[in-house]
Amino acid sequence: MAPEALAHVLRPLAALFDPADYPDLLVGLGRPDDAAVYRLSDDQALVATVDFFTPIVDDPATYGAVAAANALSDIYAMGGRPLFALNIAAFPASLPAGMLSQVLAGGAAKVKEAGIAIAGGHTIQDKEPKYGLVVLGLVDPRRMLTKQGARPGDRLVLTKPLGAGVITTAFKRDLTSDQQLAAAVASMTQLNRAAAEAALAAGVRAATDITGFGLLGHAAEMLGEEAVSLRFFFDQLPWLPGAQEFGDQWVYPGGAHDNRAYFEARVRFDPQLSEAQRTLCFAPETSGGLLLAVPPQQVEPLLARLEDAWLVGEVATGAPVVQVLLNGM
């Protein structure tokens, strides 16, 4: 759903559950985050998420793998360790059952890569295919990652290139090359496990994964009420091959405009950035990387530990806004 529509739907539910009545539900009833967290003991908590979507590529097994990696990412974004997963699938009766088998096989292979198993699930008939996972995991509540907690002086590190949503939209319009699509698929099917492990080792507290709300939408959710701003440098943002060129051609998923309409009030752009560049930063991602607020002394060790990671900005004092400047540090 578009962020404004989602906020409208959820608003009436806020009064039904008072967080004070559920003291062990550490994450889930307050500010938005990537997964729910329920405390089991002082050093152990259950972390749970669900995610599914319609096909974004033609190959069924690849679609399943992307959807599985995307769902697992929410556990990693909280600093958690997955335990097991459950399938969620909707499939038209008009399509061959073997195609659903390929989707499930692609998802299962990615889940196995994460070191866990699929322990069941649920399927229904629907006019349009949909697939994803429920994932349960464990996290130490004393060390978990949340969207809050970025401190002035922290550096912003991104662990995957941006532009998957733009590339898959261009693919649907028969505009991409094989190389461009392959690079996007490789990024979307990469697990965020190594990035989460590196973040925990570096003492990171604030993190999120970049998915449907795009870079700036998810960055805006990291803002608290305190005087802390996030500052990105456009020239340091990593992009998948073709993403910026398609952006200049205004090849965007519809969600880019929904995200911009909802989150732009909390964003300040360098006047030198074009409208296409601004919109590109709001474009939805699928199975994107982690955005980490890293203590400055831990940036070099973290970057050395990860094969793919980019220093893209910093946390500063000031009004709680997201700034996008043209040039970096």
What is the per-residue pLDDT across 106-122, written as a single tens digit (0 to 9) for each?
Answer: 999 999 999 999 999 99
CATH of the domain spanning 155-325: 3.90.650.10
Cβ proximity of 315 and 231 under 8 Å: yes
pLDDT at 82: 98
Residues 6+ away with beta carbon under 8 Å from 49: 34, 35, 36, 71, 74, 75, 134, 135
Instruction: State the pLDDT at residue 1.
Output: 67
Q: What is the pLDDT of residue 240?
A: 98
Q: Which of 141, 165, 177 is nearest to 35 (CA)?
A: 141
Is the CATH number of domain 3-139 3.30.1330.10? yes
At 170, give phi and psi (nearest 5°).
-65, -35
Q: Give the pLDDT confidence score for residue 329 in this predicted structure.
A: 61
Residue 254 Rama label (left phi>0; alpha psi -120 to 50; beta): alpha
Helix (H), strand (E) at residue 52: strand 44-53
d(CA 28, CA 37): 7
∠ CA 300-324-197, rounded to 5°: 35
Give pLDDT < 70 ranges for the chain: 1, 225, 329
Domain positions in the chain: 3-139, 155-325
pLDDT of amino acid 99: 95
Instruction: Report yes or no: 260 and 324 within 8 Å, Cβ to Cβ.
Output: no
